[in-house]
Amino acid sequence: MSIFQKLFTAIRGGAREVGEGLVDANAIRIFEQEIHDSEQALAAAKKGLTEVMAKEMQTNRTIKMLDEKIAEHEDYAAQALSKDQESLAMEIALKIADFENEKAQHVTSLSGFQSHITKLKQQIKAAEKTIKDNQRQLTMVKTTESVQQATMAVNDTLVTNQSSMASAKQSLERIKQRQADRQDQLDAAEMLAAETNGDELADKMHAAGIGKDAQQGSEILARIRAKSEQS
């Protein structure tokens, strides 16, 4: 069963300590050790691969060299035959046979190396996939465990928190109320600011003898003067 499926089953079963119930700390350590071991095996396989590939290159070179030698000696044999040196030609032919035997051996080992390389590459690919998969699963287990711990700590904090005793709806209403209060305060402050600004302006106008107040004063005075002149 995959780790995810195990988690799913555990959560459905209502297990409280999912992470811990799933894999104990010792199992995690063993799992980590297994990943470590596979990583080392993988490194060894990669080193093996480079060695075999080096041997393959070497063998290819040797075969090429032998091919050249065979061609060269075939040429010598032909020259000996054309000079009627039958026994010398035979000797050269035997030498060519030696080269061909040697080449055959190298060709055999070359195909051995090549199949070895293919196999090693497949193994390395498979090992890399397994390691990645195991690491992902390990991360999932560890994350689940630590998240479990973290949420439990938060939960414990919440339980001791008085404000959380209210229902969500009451909380929401309080928040909305606070936001409305704050808006009211802002509005009030703006109004106050506007009024204050208005007062300042009136004062300045008054000082300069402009505006309703100033005019009223002079009008009243004029009225009184007019009255006293009449009487």
Partner 1 sequence: MDLQELSIKLAHYEADGVSFESFIIHNNNQDVIQIIVDGNDELPIFVTQTQEQILCICYLFDGSEIKQEKALELNDVLLRLNVPMPLSSFAKIDDKYAVYGALATSSSLEQIGHEVVTLAANSIDALEAISDYLID
Binding site for partner 1 (CB under 8 A): 16, 139, 142-143, 146-147, 149-158, 161, 163-164, 166-172, 174-176, 178
Residue with Cβ nearer partner 1 (18 or 80): 18
Residue 35 near residue 141, CB atoms below 8 Å: no
Q: How far is the CB of 26 from partner 1 (least distance, A)?
A: 18
Task: Report the candidate in 116, 118, 121 with the shortest Cα–Cα distance to residue 46.
Answer: 121
Q: How far is the CB of 175 from partner 1 (least distance, A)?
A: 5
Of 111 and 151, nearer to partner 1 (C-beta) is 151
Residue with smaller CB distance to partner 1, 122 or 157: 157
Q: Are 93 and 18 in contact (CB under 8 A)?
A: no
Length, in residues, of the chain: 231
User: Angle, to 10 degrees, between the axis of helix 25-82 and the axis of helix 86-159?
Assistant: 160
What's the rounded Cα separation, in Å, for the pair 181 and 187? Answer: 10
Give the integer Cα–Cα distance in Å for 3 and 18. 12
For the bound state, the minimum distance from the C-beta of residue 147 to partner 1, rounded and expressed in Å, comes to: 6
| 47 or 182: CB nearest partner 1 | 182
Closest CB 170 distance from partner 1, rounded Å: 8
